[in-house]
Amino acid sequence: MSVQRNSRVLLLNATYEPLCFVSLNRAIVLVLKEKAEIIEQAGDLDFRRTVRAEKTVLPFPSVIRLVSYVRLPYRASIPLTRRTLLARDNHTCQYCGSSDRNLTLDHVLPRSRGGRTEWTNIVAACGPCNRKKGNKLTGEARMWPRTTPTRPAFSSIVLLGQARDNAIWQRYIRMNPAAA
């Protein structure tokens, strides 16, 4: 893995809530000014993966955390769309765990039985699981979602799409399922 100068770094609030991605340069400045600390580094500490200054050697950060809490302004809730729901469920069937490209949306409590189209009642499901569950309740079908469907935090859903190929970033973004 080569770390490039234009690499991005995940910025966490003091409470470990994901805030945004910042450039490597911005991350280094925050660390040097002691406004942030390095939580995860990008690879092993060796000469090629360090930032060197006259009196300082720092590892390339992958995740940094602010030292003091930054209060965030109110953010509008994220709309429930196929794209945002699949991002929340990590493009994975919530019944069998497959990551089939042809995922559908399933109402946990079927609409025909009074279920509503809302974040807490819809999950991603592959075609076979959705057909198997059909119009049944989860207990009748003996199929339960792997995770409880919740309204995602705005920053989490936006950042999760950008962190799809980075297991370290996903770990910090996934650990904050707070409702918006």
87: in domain: yes
More confident residue, 159 or 6: 159
58, 84, 111, 117, 175 from 160: Cα distances, Å: 27, 10, 29, 22, 11
99: in domain: yes
3: in domain: no
pLDDT at 116 over 70: yes
Query: Of the ranges 16-30, 83-97, 121-135, 148-162, which one carries the lowest mean pLDDT score?
Result: 148-162
Say whether pTM exceeds 0.75. Answer: no
Closest CA to 41 of 18, 20, 64, 22: 64
87, 93, 126, 136 from 145: Cα distances, Å: 16, 9, 12, 13
Which DSSP category does 27 fall into? H
37: in domain: yes
More confident residue, 75 or 109: 109
126: in domain: yes
Tell me the mean pLDDT in the region 93-107.
Answer: 91
Residue-wise pLDDT for 37-62, tens only, equals 999 987 654 456 677 777 888 888 98
Q: Are residues 20 and 62 in the same domain?
A: yes
Cα separation, 82 vs 48, whole angstroms: 42
